[in-house]
Structure 1
Amino acid sequence: MPIDLYYLEASAPCRSVMMTAKMVGVELNLKKTDVMAGDNMKPEYIKMNPQHNIPTIDDDGFYLNESRAICAYLVNKYGKDDTLYPKDPKVRALVDQRLYFDMGVFYHRFGLVYYPVMLKGATKIDESAMKDLEGALDFLETFLGQNKYAACDHLTIADLSLVASASTFLATNKTIFDKHPKIQSWLETCKAEITDYEETNNRGAEAFGQWAGAALSKLESA
């Protein structure tokens, strides 16, 4: 049976789950969940996920939210091998570290720059937040100087999560990685290896970019 995924295509965390599912051959039953319209606040949704965020999966009555946990679960349960989430303790620890980095630093700092404008009516970009985001880009550039991929010498769920974020950044700001050649090269490498990349990630990233662009254009004309 396919796994129900409650999602929005523009959401980077949702797209990391979509990429992981495709890579391990899991069929998803996509259930659009418009958080702006309050779909996530309906009683039946909160019963599955009291945090009422996206993504959430329903795997035959097993409910799980938080994208990085979902990605790990999909590989652990359905992966033909452990390539995407290696069982070796040291390699897995590095994958986990990069996942936490994506959640707590990389994507988080991006949100602190752009979400106030997109969601809260801010009239200018916070320059301090932008500086912090640039620091996060430097961190990833450093990680990619140690390995070809985010955590080791092959693609893992750390890459899928970070690619979902990085492609969102790029769709929002086409010059954001101009000073980070290793990120640019890594992105292109991952795009070529991720199954059905256009469908599972790029289309949603571009949708986010259009949404962000509409909000940012108002700043430019103010």
Structure 2
Amino acid sequence: MVIQFYHYDVSPPSRSVEMTLKALGLEYKTNIVELFQGGQKKPEFLAINPRGKVPALVDGDLKLAESRAIAAYLCNKYAKGEKQSLYPTDPEKRVQVDMYLYITEWVFDQIIEYMNIGGIFQRGEKPKDDKLDAAKSALKFLDERLENQNYLVGDTLTIADFFGYTAVLFLDLLKFSAFGEFPKLVLWMGRMKALPYSEAVNDKAMQTATAYCQEKLNPKK
């Protein structure tokens, strides 16, 4: 039975899970949940995820929500051979990935607080400049982590990188101009963008969302 993947393509957590699906080479069917049309509140979706959040996944009789749990499950069940490095089975290596799964959630929270996307899209507001320093502190944390290694957990790609990447990439909606302060982070972003499945997962969604965000921030008079 084909995996059923429920997501909204602008959502960074959704794209992190889709990067996991593609990295594992899994077959899946995409089901778009239109958040701005209330798709997350429909009874058929709430039966999968009562919290009404994307992403969600159905694999046979199993219904799963929470993006990081989904990514870990997919690796636990389907990763074979060298792909097991995405979520290592060795406890000491795995706990490092787990740690950065939590840390990237914190990073995403700081970025979202600053971006104020709900305010921009729905109420004509601007980013919260008083939250910029906190967002930059989160970026600096990742930048320092990447000082002597290619990825967040050593020199091997893991699912923690997917979640960090989509979080930081979301700043492109604002045409964020301060990336130059974080040179190691920029190099890592380039490595992530170069992954063979990154363009298919991220580019179209980000281009559409960025254009919409810029229209809201810079309305024509």
TM-score (norm 1): 0.91
Alignment of 1:72-221 (within 5 A): 72-81=72-81, 82-103=84-105, 105-114=106-115, 115-121=117-123, 123-192=125-194, 194-218=195-219
Q: State the Cα RMSD in Å.
A: 1.8
CA distance in 2, matches of 1:27, 1:186: 28
Letter in 2 for 1:90: E
Shift of 1:125: 2.9
CA distance in 1, matches of 2:19, 2:60: 20
C-alpha distance in 1 between matches for 2:41 and 2:128: 30
> Corresponding residue for 2:15?
15
Do the aligned partners of 2:24 and 2:79 also contact (CA within 8 Å) in 1? Answer: yes
In structure 2, do the counterparts of structure 1 residues 211 and 110 end up closer, same or farther at CA, with 3 Å as the change threshold?
farther
The answer (yes or no) to whether the contact 1:102–1:161 under 8 Å persists in 2 is yes
Deviation string, structure 1 residues 113-171 (Cα, Å, up to 9, x no partner): 22243245263332221111111111111111142201121100011111112222234
Q: Measured at CA, do residues 76 and 178 of structure 1 come closer, stay the same or move farther in structure 2, by a change above 3 Å?
A: same
Per the TM alignment, residue 195 of structure 1 is displaced from its structure 2 partner at its CA by: 2.9
How far apart are 1:174 and its partner, in Å?
Answer: 4.2
1:182 Cα deviation from its structure 2 partner? 0.4
* Superposition map of 1:21-32 within 5 A: 21-32=21-32
> Any unmatched runs of 5+ in structure 1?
none
The residue matched to 2:180 in structure 1 has which SS? coil
Structure 2 counterpart of 1:156, which letter? Answer: T
Whole-Å separation in 2 of the counterparts to 1:39 and 1:10: 14
Partner amino acid, structure 2, of 1:137 = L
User: Number of paired residues?
Assistant: 218
Name the SS of the counterpart of 2:147 in structure 1: helix
Moved more, 58-67 or 198-207: 198-207
For 2:99 and 2:8, the matched residues in 1 are separated by: 26
Could you tell me how far apart the structure 2 residues matched to 1:66 and 1:176 are?
30
Superposed CA deviations along residues 71-102 of structure 1, whole A, max 9, x for unmatched, are 11111111113210012222211211111111
SS of the equivalent of 1:182 reads: helix
Taking structure 2 as the reference length, what is the TM-score of the superposition?
A: 0.91
Deviation for aligned residue 1:210: 2.1
Over the matched positions of the two proteins, sequence identity in percent amounts to: 30
Cα pair 2:3 2:29 within 8 Å, conserved:
yes
- Name the amino acid aligned to 1:55: P
The residue number in structure 1 matching 2:35 is: 35
Report how far residue 178 of structure 1 moved. Answer: 1.5
Contact 2:14 2:55 in 1 (8 A): yes
Say whether the 8 Å CA contact 2:111–2:168 is kept in structure 1: no
> Which whole-Å CA distance do the structure 2 matches of 1:47 and 1:156 have between them?
31
Say whether the 8 Å CA contact 2:124–2:217 is kept in structure 1: no
Unpaired segments ≥5 residues, structure 2: none
Q: Deviations over 1:157-194 (max 9, x none)?
A: 011111112222234324241211101101111222x2
